[in-house]
Structure 1
């Protein structure tokens, strides 16, 4: 990266926006660019997978998996591909360093009426009996408990915590139901909150979470908050250690103290007997459902949600967001990285939300990518876009299964945003993560046979997949 940038510590250089270095690429000392070479690459592949249906019969279906494969081509092709990836890597590395640095700066500046809360969902805990028959190890007999873990830091205190629930939802309503016991404990001494998390779109980085952030904290008596996202793939932290410690204690309860853990109540009561500094709270599913019902059915998404690394709230239903976190003038709010204001309309209001930059009102689109929060039978018959070999394909969901995979009848590609239905149906099973978005509208005809995805949605898809 040093060879293609003026300064690896400057945003414009690493974002490839610098007028002096944005055109620089990596060069290789290769005498024959046409020479055949080989390298390893990650690719998506379709494989046959055998499963049993409800009647016990074995059936085969095709699924998409990620594999490491040996690829070959000319030295020139390898160099060109490497340069494309290097451009993305520069931005990624800068984001990693910057977010860690910004959060470190916040830790140094935090005052007595503020708290930093670093959170993450741990992998669900599998319920256990001290003694189990063999059939308990399979299928629906395996019950689970949700663990939402974290650490909060104040000027003088550091405290680990874990909230547990029989409700297996991990979406925004569940997040805030899990946060409420912690916020109740803090609200008498704390006025400003700073959340830190990774950025999965089904959990923290989405419109519902931003809406609840701008709503719940003010209802609980706080005066403001920020939500800061660590760069993708680099969100590990103290919260992960809390989850590991809780599971170790839970396993000890079963294997050493011979206690059965089959629900959240069992886990909480058992952990209370352990000598642990981790605070544990139970969350009822009813509270998750209440928060879920409080979210308006049609929320506008904040533009460029996938690029956001900081959301700030100072007033109810109003947010400001930017591509990177910054606390350079803290406790005052700086104008670094062009924060954009977004206002959620009051619940039930007929008007659309508004989006404004720091200096002027800007236009906005009502379109957004609709990611899958859960896989169930309600998806059957809906249109979606799946990703295969880094390319988008629209289709219709024809089936779902308990492994959160979806069967999709896909269209074939003939050009940029041009698709057609093949004479032989192309029906395959895809992982939940391969479904890029649901479609509100059916792809429309542009000729007698060819169809296109809504142009506004297509532009979002192109931007996310970085298609040329």
Structure 2
């Protein structure tokens, strides 16, 4: 959208744009798993975000064993991103968020109440904007795919990935350009 592109062109080190979304779930498989394991595949979710600021961009992938993709996972992910972002952009004053319009994830009153609390806690101004339904484009979609491919290549080479914690370790071994942090169960529980 024009508004999204306009805001990206106006970023400073005090005013940033963040695009967020969930990547497709990642199937936890082993290279030499037995056939019956194929029918009992566990998955993990991956919350992705990209931050545009004047000095640099920041890529985030946040895997979780919780695959609900609900408002509590979103809230926990935003808290993790903001905590990390404050260390890189200490003068942050305003964030323009962009996301899809999925009601279970982003477009509901819990998120807006939570944003008010977050704005107060971090002493920043927040706005939230929604893309058209099934937008499915942008850097965040590439982030999810890239990290999943990196981890899958490690699995094919014989490494094990049985949890979000394993996913983080493998992904961090493969790239330093993406900030990869697990959304732990207690992070989600604290959002409730």
**Alpha-carbon distance in 2 for matches of 1:181, 1:287:** 9
Q: Is the 8 A contact 2:28 2:161 kept in 1?
A: yes
User: Given the alignment of the two structures, is residue 115 of structure 1 paired with residue 16 of structure 2, yes or no?
Assistant: yes
Correspondences of 1:54-453 after superposition (within 5 Å): 100-138=1-39, 141-187=40-86, 188-219=90-121, 221-256=122-157, 258-292=158-192
Range 121-130 or range 184-193, more displaced:
184-193
Q: CA deviation digits over 1:430-465, x for unaligned, max 9?
A: xxxxxxxxxxxxxxxxxxxxxxxxxxxxxxxxxxxx
Structure 1 residues 158 and 119 mapped into 2: Cα distance closer, same or farther (>3 Å)? same
> Shift in Å at residue 272 of structure 1?
1.7
Give 1 or 2: higher helix fraction.
Answer: 2
> Shift in Å at residue 291 of structure 1?
1.0
Q: How many residues align?
A: 189
> Shift in Å at residue 147 of structure 1?
0.3
SS in 1 for 2:54: coil
Q: Is the 8 A contact 1:190 1:222 kept in 2?
A: no
> Shift in Å at residue 235 of structure 1?
4.2
**Alpha-carbon distance in 2 for matches of 1:123, 1:217:** 29
**Alpha-carbon distance in 1 for matches of 2:54, 2:175:** 25
Q: Is the 8 A contact 1:160 1:279 kept in 2?
A: yes
Structure 2 unpaired stretches of 5+: none
> Shift in Å at residue 107 of structure 1?
1.6
Q: Is the 8 A contact 2:92 2:124 kept in 1?
A: no
> Which one has the largest radius of gyration?
1
> Shift in Å at residue 276 of structure 1?
4.4
**Alpha-carbon distance in 2 for matches of 1:261, 1:217:** 36
Structure 1 unpaired stretches of 5+: 1-99, 293-468
**Alpha-carbon distance in 2 for matches of 1:217, 1:284:** 23
Normalised TM-score (structure 1): 0.39
SS in 2 for 1:282: coil
**Alpha-carbon distance in 1 for matches of 2:134, 2:166:** 33
Runs of 4+ in 1 over 6 A off after TM superposition: none
Q: CA RMSD in A?
A: 1.3
Normalised TM-score (structure 2): 0.93
Give 1 or 2: higher strand fraction.
Answer: 1
SS in 1 for 2:146: helix
Higher relative contact order (CA 8 A, sep 6+): 2
